Chains A and B, each alone.
Chain A
Amino acid sequence: AQTVTQSQPEMSVQEAETVTLSCTYDTSESDYYLFWYKQPPSRQMILVIRQEAYKQQNATENRFSVNFQKAAKSFSLKISDSQLGDAAMYFCAYGSGGSEKLVFGKGTKLTVNP
């Protein structure tokens, strides 16, 4: 079974600084997708960024980028120029291309200090 591990329960960063959230996953599949979702205190789940496993190029979305290391099964999220609104729970997720099952890690709580 696929598993997703986020080893950092909590992280903090100063406003305008850069922070990296870690995620590793375990799979034997070659066809899959990886996601980062953000959950602010409102409880709403928001897609931050998505990566297809077959693409070598790391995905970027404005201040958010990923470091996808396929061989190491690592998928970290980098947030540049952190803003107060980035404070939230961040969930890494694995999407199976075969079964279409989507599994989440336990999350990392990010605090942004002014």
Chain B
Amino acid sequence: DAGVIQSPRHEVTEMGQEVTLRCKPISGHNSLFWYRQTMMRGLELLIYFNNNVPIDDSGMPEDRFSAKMPNASFSTLKIQPSEPRDSAVYFCASRAQGAGEKLFFGSGTQLSVL
């Protein structure tokens, strides 16, 4: 079991550029979460999917952010256009179906928007 795999680990881009973060959840996990971590706001839930279907995207900050899960083994979080205030660590996490199940996190993507 390779765990949740995120790429890239670091991303540096210029304001206005499109950024795509990628995530491969653990095989067999039904739920996938995207979180953003900053010093000021802690861990914010952006969006989560159950069985590839977006369930709650109320945490997505604005229309510049979008997330997709085309199949059970892949998800993307896209920011277009990016802004300096988007700089943060973005985590993807997955778990088996069930609110009490352990959440497995990826190693995160450190995004810096200059």
Contacts and interface: CB of A to CB of B under 8 A. Distances in A.
Contact of A101 (B41, B43, B45): B45
B99 A95 contact: yes
B63 to A, nearest CB: 21
B12 interface: no
A91 interface: yes
B43 A91 contact: yes
Contacts of A102: 33, 45, 48, 99, 103
A97 B42 contact: no
- The B contact surface, by secondary structure, is strand
B85 interface: no
Contacts, number: 58
Interface string B85-96: 000010101000
B102 A105 contact: no
Interface residues of B, number: 23
A101 B45 CA distance: 9
Given A101-B48, A101-B56, A47 B42 contact: no
Interface in A93-108: 93, 95-107
Interface of A: 31-33, 35, 37, 43-45, 47, 50, 52, 91, 93, 95-107
Interface of B: 31, 33, 35, 41-43, 45, 48, 50, 55-56, 89, 91, 93, 97-100, 102-103, 105, 107-108
28 contacts: A33-B100, A35-B103, A43-B107, A43-B108, A44-B107, A45-B91, A45-B103, A47-B103, A50-B100, A50-B102, A91-B42, A91-B43, A95-B99, A97-B99, A98-B99, A99-B55, A100-B31, A100-B55, A101-B48, A102-B45, A102-B48, A103-B45, A104-B35, A104-B45, A105-B42, A106-B41, A106-B43, A107-B43
